[in-house]
């Protein structure tokens, strides 16, 4: 065995990582997002995407949706550490392949092209509720809502059709059926 | 209409309602209104330190020896950045601190004003929670919340940043409300079923061990009493982490000594070979576990902790009980008595082989060292210090390094809250200011900082504080002219390349003591050690004791990096006795 040169132990066997969606309900106060994000960066957890907005205006509660990857142990730690933060009310966690949960991301595509091509663009997007938000003689802005990989695919398909700019949100999530949190 | 108070007055009204007696602090531009108010509150005494880090560690020493939160008052900018080390230290070791910092007036925040810094941004990762008070109406609520958060659950530091205009602004004050639950964060989350499972596991176990930590100390002196009762009731062996020393009497036969990197041979081997590991208020720190994959491979593991995030963080356990240590142990004892299990009797034959094995490990005498009549061995110095001070209620603080480990190994503690050391963060320079805080909390008691010459120089200025307030702290320096632990690792792991670990120039500590206005004692002959220690104890005032020790001594036993508990390096005494197996050879 190689002689260790460190006073710390070596990293040990690696477990499989999974993608999870963590939903956090927080008091909407100054610095709360920094606390949540700082916890992730400070402890070396990964953030794939993040979506946050106030959802209860009366109680001042925001809902943060974070897509992250980690071993089961890390995902457990993320939840437990988040629950320790003072402004955090509740934490929920879903696996990305959970059939009981709906995930959605939204994307805005700006395409600069000839008028004839625009129809083609809409056809490409047709499965993802395309909405035309703006249209000129040379350009169009299309909104779609879909899953992450679907939006990735759309970007690739639209590229040759004149896609010049993409803006997209992080994932938001909701459980199916009548059940809900809190 | 209710009376209106200024922000500065509200700070003190809150302190009074929270029973604060001492503040450790340093004034500056952005906290002057609060300092101005100090004169109107005679029940609160301010201790003026010489550096804000000193205020932080003194507040830690105060908190850890008294069980009450330590209070820090500092100014904006450099005042608060200087206290960051102490806040981080307190966060790692779960010490309740409330730090009040001044801030530039609200209209100047974000303009890079004089002595402005992003205080809440800087201290966010090193506090349990922090606040920037932007509206005076929020101040009373925030201050009460600050005390509540610092002292409940797993304790820790909090910080309240108060802009100067808020200190002048006026509002109504209200007293703290009792039992306010913050976002439903409750701390006792266990049930009878878990307690029954616990008892089931201890009844079945043949090779059990208690592994206890700072959580027992933090749970209060009653928790130590409960722990002693439980350990005696079961007749099981017990080992403790660095922070847990004193929860169980150090000279008791059931106590195996400290475990971990510099723990005893018997404690570490028992941890490795046990079939039931009962963790009470400890957190499987990497200095304890060594190699994770081979950590206590054949045991069922129980973990009692108030912090749910400590459970399964590093070591997966079979039974987790989330709750206050004292509450959980009391419930366990109650259930054992109710079930009329005569554990001591019924367990004895079951664990007798285990105890025999432990005695075999014990006979190695892993803390043994080769003494000398020419130079003072540091271990010998600590042993003598213990023998000459054990007849009185002594409080020990330490710096960080070899001397800290020798103190932990050779000084035996019989009561909780008598041992203050920086474990998690490992802050050199912790011990001297911590001793100041301990002495403030216990003015009549003997307070000794077992120090190294390198560490103590980091916060030496606080001797001036000790002199100002007539605090008779004793700074017992084991002076080997090296950063000893660095030198030891360089010797064992870096082919004796002693890169920058030797201090070529050191001050004359005796003259330094005199310059500060206290007493200096130097000793270098082992024959004069006892009389010098007695002279130090008898002197009514602060003392710097310069004990010149063997510069080449290493701290053994030791678990080398990446090794499990049963592969320890033992000291030279063992090599002498047992040349063939000399495990140390592979590494030295």
- Residues B380-401 pLDDT 10s: 999 999 999 999 999 999 999 9
Cβ B290–A9 below 8 Å, yes or no? yes
In chain A, which residues have their Cβ closer than 8 Å to the Cβ of B307? 84
The ipTM assigned to this model is 0.90
Q: Please say if the pLDDT value at position A43 is more than 70.
A: yes
CB A171 within 8 A of CB A103: yes
Q: Looking at B115, B350, B357, B567, which residue is catalytic? A: B115
Residues B47-64 have a mean pLDDT of 98
pTM for the whole structure: 0.94
In chain A, which residues have their Cβ closer than 8 Å to the Cβ of B184? 89
Q: What percent of chain B stands above pLDDT 90?
A: 88
Alpha carbon of A7: minimum distance to chain B alpha carbons (Å): 5
With bands split at pLDDT 50, 70 and 90, how would you rate the model's confidence at B184? Answer: low
In chain B, which residues have their Cβ closer than 8 Å to the Cβ of A4? 493, 560-562
Please state, as a whole number, how many other Cβ atoms lie within 10 Å of the Cβ of residue B271. 25
- Residues B113-169 pLDDT 10s: 999 999 999 999 999 999 999 999 999 999 999 999 999 999 999 999 999 999 999
In chain B, which residues have their Cβ closer than 8 Å to the Cβ of A3? 587
> Is B485 among the residues known to form the active site?
yes
Q: Looking at B13, B128, B164, B301, which residue is catalytic? A: B164
Q: Looking at B92, B485, B558, B568, which residue is catalytic? A: B485
**SS3 call for B75:** coil
Classify the phi-psi angles of A129: left when phi > 0, otherwise alpha if psi is within -120 to 50, otherwise beta.
left
Quick one: chain A helix, strand, coil %, rounded to 5? Answer: 30, 40, 35
In chain B, which residues have their Cβ closer than 8 Å to the Cβ of A13? 293
CB B312 within 8 A of CB B320: yes
CB A40 within 8 A of CB A46: yes
CB B147 within 8 A of CB B99: no
What is the per-residue pLDDT for B526? 97
Residues in chain A: 182
Q: Please say if the pLDDT value at position A84 is more than 80.
A: yes
CB B22 within 8 A of CB B58: no
What is the per-residue pLDDT for B182? 56
Cβ A8–B125 below 8 Å, yes or no? no
**Chain B residue set in contact with A, beta carbons under 8 Å:** 120-121, 124-125, 128-129, 132, 134, 149, 182-185, 286, 289-293, 307-309, 311-313, 316, 489, 493-494, 560-562, 587
What is the per-residue pLDDT for B588? 35
> Is B445 among the residues known to form the active site?
no
> Is B390 among the residues known to form the active site?
no
Residues B476-483 have a mean pLDDT of 97
In chain B, which residues have their Cβ closer than 8 Å to the Cβ of A2? none
What is the per-residue pLDDT for B179? 63
What is the per-residue pLDDT for B183? 57
- Under 8 Å CB pairs connecting chains A and B tally to 71
Q: Please say if the pLDDT value at position B178 is more than 80.
A: no
Q: Shortest CB distance from A38 goes to which of B125, B128, B308?
A: B125
Cβ A38–B128 below 8 Å, yes or no? no
**Sign, CA torsion B564/B570/B576/B578:** negative
What is the per-residue pLDDT for A68? 96
Cβ B493–A30 below 8 Å, yes or no? no
Cβ A9–B286 below 8 Å, yes or no? yes
What is the per-residue pLDDT for B572? 84
Q: What percent of chain B stands above pLDDT 70?
A: 96
- Residues B268-312 pLDDT 10s: 999 999 999 999 999 999 999 988 889 999 999 999 999 999 999
DSSP state of B148: H
- Residues B196-245 pLDDT 10s: 999 999 999 999 999 999 999 999 999 999 999 999 999 999 999 999 99
DSSP character string of B267-310: HHHHHHH-SEEEEES----HHHHSSGGGSSTT-EEEEEES-GGG
- Residues B401-410 pLDDT 10s: 999 999 999 9
DSSP character string of B302-326: EEEES-GGGTTSSS--SEEEES-HH
A29 close to B (CB below 8 A): no
- Regarding predicted confidence, which is higher, A9 or B296? B296
What is the per-residue pLDDT for B585? 41
Q: Please say if the pLDDT value at position A12 is more than 80.
A: no
């Amino acid at each position: 065995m190689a002689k260790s040169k460190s006073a710390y132990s070596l990293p040990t066997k690696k477990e499989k990582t999974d993608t999870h969606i963590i939903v956090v309900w927080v008091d909407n106060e100054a610095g709360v997002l920094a606390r949540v994000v700082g916890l992730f960066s400070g402890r070396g957890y990964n953030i794939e995407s993040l979506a946050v907005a106030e959802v209860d205006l009366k109680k001042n509660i925001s809902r943060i949706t974070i897509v992250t990857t980690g071993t089961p142990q890390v995902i457990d730690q993320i939840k437990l550490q988040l629950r320790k933060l003072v402004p955090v009310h509740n934490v929920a966690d879903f696996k990305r392949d959970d059939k009981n949960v709906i995930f959605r991301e939204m994307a805005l595509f700006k395409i600069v092209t000839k008028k004839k091509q625009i129809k083609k663009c809409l056809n490409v997007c047709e499965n993802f509720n395309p909405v035309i938000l703006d249209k000129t003689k040379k350009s169009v802005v299309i909104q779609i809502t879909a899953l992450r990989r679907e939006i990735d695919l759309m970007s690739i398909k639209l590229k040759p059709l004149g896609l010049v700019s993409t803006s997209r949100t992080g994932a938001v999530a909701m459980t199916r059926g009548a059940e809900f949190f809190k | 209409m209710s009376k209106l108070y200024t922000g500065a007055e509200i700070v003190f009204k809150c302190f009074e309602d929270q029973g604060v007696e001492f503040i450790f602090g340093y004034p500056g531009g952005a906290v002057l209104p609060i300092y101005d108010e100090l004169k109107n509150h005679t029940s609160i005494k301010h201790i003026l330190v010489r550096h804000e880090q000193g205020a932080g560690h003194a507040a830690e020493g105060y908190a850890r020896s008294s069980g009450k939160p330590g209070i820090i008052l500092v100014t904006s900018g450099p005042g608060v950045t200087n206290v960051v080390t102490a806040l981080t230290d307190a966060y790692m070791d779960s010490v309740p601190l409330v730090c009040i910092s001044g801030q530039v007036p609200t209209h100047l925040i974000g303009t890079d004003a004089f002595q402005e810094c992003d205080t809440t941004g800087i201290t966010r990762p090193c506090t349990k929670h922090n606040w920037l008070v932007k509206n005076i109406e929020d101040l009373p609520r925030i201050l009460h919340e600050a005390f509540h958060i610092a002292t409940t659950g797993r304790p820790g530091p909090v910080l309240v940043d108060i802009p100067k205009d808020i200190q002048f602004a006026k509002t109504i004050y209200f007293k703290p409300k009792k039992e306010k639950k913050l976002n439903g964060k409750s701390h006792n989350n266990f049930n009878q079923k878990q307690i029954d499972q616990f008892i089931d596991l201890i009844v079945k176990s043949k090779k059990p061990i208690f592994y206890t930590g700072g959580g027992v100390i933090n749970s209060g002196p009653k928790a130590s009493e409960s722990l002693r009762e439980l350990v005696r009731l079961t007749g099981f062996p017990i080992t403790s982490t660095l922070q847990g020393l004193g929860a169980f009497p150090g000279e008791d036969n059931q106590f195996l000594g400290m475990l971990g990197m510099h723990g005893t041979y018997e404690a570490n081997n028992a941890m490795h070979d046990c079939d039931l590991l009962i963790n009470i208020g400890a957190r499987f720190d990497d200095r304890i576990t060594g190699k994770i994959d081979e950590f206590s491979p054949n045991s069922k593991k129980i973990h009692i902790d108030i912090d749910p995030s400590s459970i399964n963080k590093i070591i997966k356990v079979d039974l987790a009980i989330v709750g206050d240590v004292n509450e959980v142990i009391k419930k366990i004892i109650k259930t054992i008595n109710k079930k009329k299990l005569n554990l001591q009797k019924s367990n004895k034959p079951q664990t007798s082989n285990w105890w025999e094995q432990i005695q075999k490990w014990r006979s190695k005498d892993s803390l043994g060292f080769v003494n000398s009549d020419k130079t003072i061995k540091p271990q010998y110095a600590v042993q003598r210090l213990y023998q000459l001070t054990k007849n009185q209620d002594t409080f020990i603080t330490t710096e960080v390094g070899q001397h800290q480990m020798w103190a932990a190994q050779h000084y035996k503690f019989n009561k909780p809250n008598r041992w203050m050391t920086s474990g998690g963060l490992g802050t050199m320079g912790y011990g001297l200011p911590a001793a100041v805080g301990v002495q403030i909390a216990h003015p009549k008691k003997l307070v000794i900082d077992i120090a190294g010459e390198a560490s103590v120089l980091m916060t030496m200025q606080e001797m001036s504080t000790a002199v100002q307030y007539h605090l008779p702290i004793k700074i017992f320096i084991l002076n080997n002219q090296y950063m000893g632990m660095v030198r030891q690792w360089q010797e064992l792991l870096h082919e004796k390349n002693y890169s920058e670990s030797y201090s070529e120039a050191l001050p004359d500590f005796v003259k330094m003591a005199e310059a500060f206005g206290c007493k200096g004692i130097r000793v270098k002959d082992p024959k004069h050690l006892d009389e010098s220690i007695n002279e130090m104890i008898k002197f009514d005032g602060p003392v710097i004791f310069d004990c010149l020790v063997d510069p080449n001594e290493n701290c053994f036993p030791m678990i080398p990096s990446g090794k499990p508990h049963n592969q320890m390096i033992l000291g030279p005494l063992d090599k002498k006795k047992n040349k063939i197996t000399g495990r140390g050879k592979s590494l030295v």
